[in-house]
Structure 1
Amino acid sequence: MRLIAPAVVLAFSFFVAPLAADAQQAGKSARIGYVHVNPVTSSPSPLRVAFIQGLRDFGWVEGSNLAIEIRSANGKPERLPALIADLLRLKVDVILAAEPVSAAAAKRATAAVPIVFMIGGDPVAGGLVASLARPGGNLTGCAGMEPELAGKRLELLKEIVPRLTRVAFVTNPSSPMNPPHVREAQKAATALGIRLQVVEVRDPDEFERALVVIAKDRPDALYVVGNPNLFSQRPRVLGLVERNRLPAIWSESTWVTEGGLIGYASNQPEMFRRGAWYVDRILRGAQPADLPVEQPTKFELRINLKTAKALGLTIPQSILGRADQAIE
């Protein structure tokens, strides 16, 4: 599915990558920090894999001319300042911040070290950059247009769920991107004749307690905003949603692959591959202030037909025809 983007939006497309040996021939070596909230897993996440592969495409090979210092807050954002301070002590050349809260913490910690962010919301409204075209300061990166997608996601729910009038909007108060997303969702809900119940959730424990409150209001569906703490415990969260038999739309496609009903989002691995381009440019001398923030122009619609059947929902052909993937 495609969304018409503003003129300032730049497509996620790679320029021709240099030869893999280029950086080594130039005699360069670098150290970068990769900081995120998600707990450490036994194998690298698909997003980190995409980022590292992107670096390789530009000639930066871990263990050869590149060291990557990975720091995880293990689901506790309050640990981020200490983790970032550790990266600064190591004198990293660039910090890759994998979520809005990580980017905000990195910005507070340093105005000197370049920071490349990967976020879903508006970095201007979130206070990370001065503008998309001219970021200013030491931050730039990729922004996924999450607030702008609120209306489209609510429209999809309205098409799928018969007589939908109430939606529980599960948001993450820890994220600096939260306020603009809530505003856009409320605006879209009013236009669509939907009552929006805003519920703040930081982690799976709060999500489980929140579902008790949500159930009393008897919503017709859930809209779950991106939250690294929920994402890191997807089986538990999906099980809770299934137990309550609530149709839900998600902000990342992975949820749908693992059992969520529907997802509408930018291609996140592509975002992280593009993040490697920013890191490469900075390591070669570019300033973050001169690298415009990029936003996607293509979005993926995924539907889990097995989940729809379990919920007694029939997905309209008009939506199936637009889906990038229908999981059976």
Structure 2
Amino acid sequence: MDLTLGNFVKGLLELGYEQGRNIDVIRRVGIFQDRVPSMEEMVVLVKPDIIAAPATLEAVAARKATSTIPIVCAALADAVHLGLIASEARPGGNVTGIEPYIAGLPTKQIELAREIAPTARRVGLLVNMSDPKGPPQVGDLKAACGALGLGVVEADANTAKDIPTALAALANEHIDVVVVLQTNLLLQMSEQIAAIALEKRLPTVFGYREHVIYGGLVSYGVDLRWCYRRAGYFVDKILRGARPGDLPIEFPSELWLAVNLKTAKALGVSVPAGLLARANEVIE
């Protein structure tokens, strides 16, 4: 099973819910054979007790489809601004879940970029501004670069087809290191981004370990596996009678540092011993 469903089911199992025995997890993409149904169609046809949304875009679609069925989102961002919740402490409506974007993380990612590229003067940002998680990260990353006197060049990729052009543009700007935003699209295209970054000789910093698994250089951020497992906690609470509006939004308490030494060698990057010592995961 994939990152989202596999870990979500594991989280439910840890709480005593077994697929097909005392709970049925139905994937939206499996309802029709020829196309992905709309969220409205899913609500009408399936009549779920709870909707588990993997990320913000799906949570927005689910909220438009229903204001009564509880919605649990494992990777929620900008929820107040989008009108999904009233506040993180007391969501108030039918949406709750986990917010994987932690304040201060972009600063840490820029510091990490400086560790792997100590002489860096220009940082490239591979952005995806159509995703609600994008704009807040860009603002924070620019502020972090400004504090260190680093120049910033952005390249926007809002579809998969944009990614090769965006990375080529950053390479043409002679960027020293690239930071890739944490968004659904860029996560889904991990393998392609890693391959192009290697081809273009771009040392690249990510927020999710999955990028590093597929050949990215280094990542520091939330462990999405935990987020999707933790979503099971919210489902359990709701099934036991809790209202989603009364369940506070949660934030991960630990961050994950991953390094791909094979990629580092291919790029000619010397990974500091101190960074390796801190790493949660080293791929050789």
Match of 2:262 in 1: 306
Shift of 1:146: 4.7
Deviation by residue 1:258-296 (Cα, 9 ceiling, x = unmatched):
211001111211111110010111112110110011001
SS of equivalent to 2:98: strand
* Match 1:85 to one of 31, 40, 63: 40
Match of 1:52 in 2: 9
Shift of 1:211: 2.0
In structure 2, C-alpha distance between the alignment counterparts of 1:106 and 1:83, rounded to whole Å: 9
In structure 1, C-alpha distance between the alignment counterparts of 2:13 and 2:56, rounded to whole Å: 25
Match of 1:116 in 2: 72
In terms of mean alpha carbon deviation, does 268-277 or 231-240 score higher? 231-240
Shift of 1:157: 0.3
Match of 2:161 in 1: 205
- Does structure 2 conserve the Cα–Cα contact (< 8 Å) formed by 1:303 and 1:327? yes
SS of equivalent to 1:238: helix
Q: Tell me the amino acid that sits aligned with residue 132 of structure 2.
A: P
- Does structure 1 conserve the Cα–Cα contact (< 8 Å) formed by 2:72 and 2:234? yes
* Match 1:94 to one of 50, 67, 70: 50
In structure 2, C-alpha distance between the alignment counterparts of 1:179 and 1:231, rounded to whole Å: 16
Shift of 1:210: 1.2
- Does structure 1 conserve the Cα–Cα contact (< 8 Å) formed by 2:122 and 2:151? yes
Residues 1:164 and 2:120 aligned together: yes
In structure 2, C-alpha distance between the alignment counterparts of 1:132 and 1:281, rounded to whole Å: 17
**Shift >4 Å, 4+ stretches:** none
In structure 2, C-alpha distance between the alignment counterparts of 1:120 and 1:297, rounded to whole Å: 16
In structure 1, C-alpha distance between the alignment counterparts of 2:200 and 2:102, rounded to whole Å: 26
In terms of mean alpha carbon deviation, does 117-126 or 217-226 score higher? 117-126
TM-score between the two structures when normalised by the length of structure 1? 0.79
In structure 2, C-alpha distance between the alignment counterparts of 1:277 and 1:202, rounded to whole Å: 32
- Does structure 2 conserve the Cα–Cα contact (< 8 Å) formed by 1:104 and 1:176? no
Shift of 1:65: 2.4
Q: CA RMSD in A?
A: 2.0
In structure 1, C-alpha distance between the alignment counterparts of 2:207 and 2:274, rounded to whole Å: 21
- Does structure 1 conserve the Cα–Cα contact (< 8 Å) formed by 2:213 and 2:260? yes
SS of equivalent to 2:79: coil
In structure 2, C-alpha distance between the alignment counterparts of 1:270 and 1:121, rounded to whole Å: 16
- Does structure 2 conserve the Cα–Cα contact (< 8 Å) formed by 1:120 and 1:146? no
Q: Tell me the amino acid that sits aligned with residue 71 of structure 1.
A: R
Shift of 1:120: 6.0
Correspondence list, 1:159-238, <5 A: 159-238=115-194
TM-score between the two structures when normalised by the length of structure 2? 0.91
Match of 1:264 in 2: 220
Match of 2:231 in 1: 275
In structure 1, C-alpha distance between the alignment counterparts of 2:84 and 2:182, rounded to whole Å: 18
In structure 2, C-alpha distance between the alignment counterparts of 1:120 and 1:224, rounded to whole Å: 18
- Does structure 2 conserve the Cα–Cα contact (< 8 Å) formed by 1:202 and 1:227? no
Shift of 1:188: 1.0
Deviation by residue 1:287-319 (Cα, 9 ceiling, x = unmatched):
011001100111111111121121111112221
User: Structure 1 125/180 Cα, relative in aligned 2: closer, same or farther at 3 Å?
Assistant: farther
- Does structure 2 conserve the Cα–Cα contact (< 8 Å) formed by 1:150 and 1:188? yes
SS of equivalent to 2:24: strand
In structure 1, C-alpha distance between the alignment counterparts of 2:214 and 2:161, rounded to whole Å: 20
Q: How many aligned residue pairs are there? A: 279
In structure 2, C-alpha distance between the alignment counterparts of 1:50 and 1:193, rounded to whole Å: 40
SS of equivalent to 2:274: helix
- Does structure 2 conserve the Cα–Cα contact (< 8 Å) formed by 1:224 and 1:249? yes
User: Structure 1 260/156 Cα, relative in aligned 2: closer, same or farther at 3 Å?
Assistant: same
Q: Percent identity?
A: 35
SS of equivalent to 2:88: coil
SS of equivalent to 1:321: helix
SS of equivalent to 1:235: helix
SS of equivalent to 1:280: helix
Q: Tell me the amino acid that sits aligned with residue 6 of structure 2.
A: V
